[in-house]
Amino acid sequence: MLSFPGRSGMAAVLLLCLPVLTLAAVAAHLLDQSGKALSGFPKPGTRVVVLVFGATDCPISNRYVPEVERLRGEFAARAVDLRWVYPNPDDTPETVRKHSVEYGMKVPVVVDREQELVQKAGVRVTPEAAVFAVEPGGWREVYHGRIDDRYIAFGKERPQATRHELEEAIESALAGKTAAAAGGDPVGCSIVPKG
């Protein structure tokens, strides 16, 4: 079962009151990059699920592909299921396949044209990430926000990130600890609302 209890900055008492959803209810409209219904998600034995929302036409999310690939490689053997989620309604499996090949992506992708994961994770822009601890009763969101602090504002970036919030959140989730809140809002392209 999945639970998406809300943003990491909310009071713990509020988190306990939110509904638990079954994966089947959420995954009914999720596709892989070949256009088939998503299966094998999360992978068996997964302790942490990481969803990174990115768009084919967003230059900021495209600049983060190498960082997401690095995180996938770093955490692959540590029971972390990291997925790149394409959230825009016009992201067809063919468009997604082309984008994945163009950027040399090995991270598994999810096509969320119905924006079910977008709604459950509460994301607004690409790139934006959500980290969930997998527990017996469902998924508990432990982090929601930016990947790192490289982008200060739209059109304004540092040469290198000084804080790696997503990586720190994954480490915290694996250690069973609460992740620190993001140090700022994610900077990127707005997710196109479903028609």
Average pLDDT over residues 54-83: 96
Q: Return the pLDDT at 28.
A: 59
Average pLDDT over residues 10-31: 46
Average pLDDT over residues 24-44: 75
Structure confidence by residue, pLDDT tens digits, 82-126: 999 999 999 888 999 999 999 999 999 999 999 999 998 999 999
Average pLDDT over residues 67-73: 97
Task: Give 159's contacts (C-beta < 8 A, 6+ positions apart).
Answer: none
Q: Return the pLDDT at 8.
A: 39
Structure confidence by residue, pLDDT tens digits, 168-184: 999 999 999 988 888 89
Q: CA separation (Å) from 70 to 64, 75, 176, 194?
A: 10, 9, 22, 31
Is residue 17 over pLDDT 60? no
Q: Return the pLDDT at 15.
A: 35
Q: Return the pLDDT at 27.
A: 61
**Cα–Cα–Cα angle for 79, 83, 89, rounded to 5 degrees:** 160
Which domains, and CATH codes, for the chain? 2-190 (3.40.30.10)
At 44, list the tokens. Answer: 């068996």
Q: Which helix (H) or strand (E) holds 164?
A: none
Is residue 36 over pLDDT 90? no
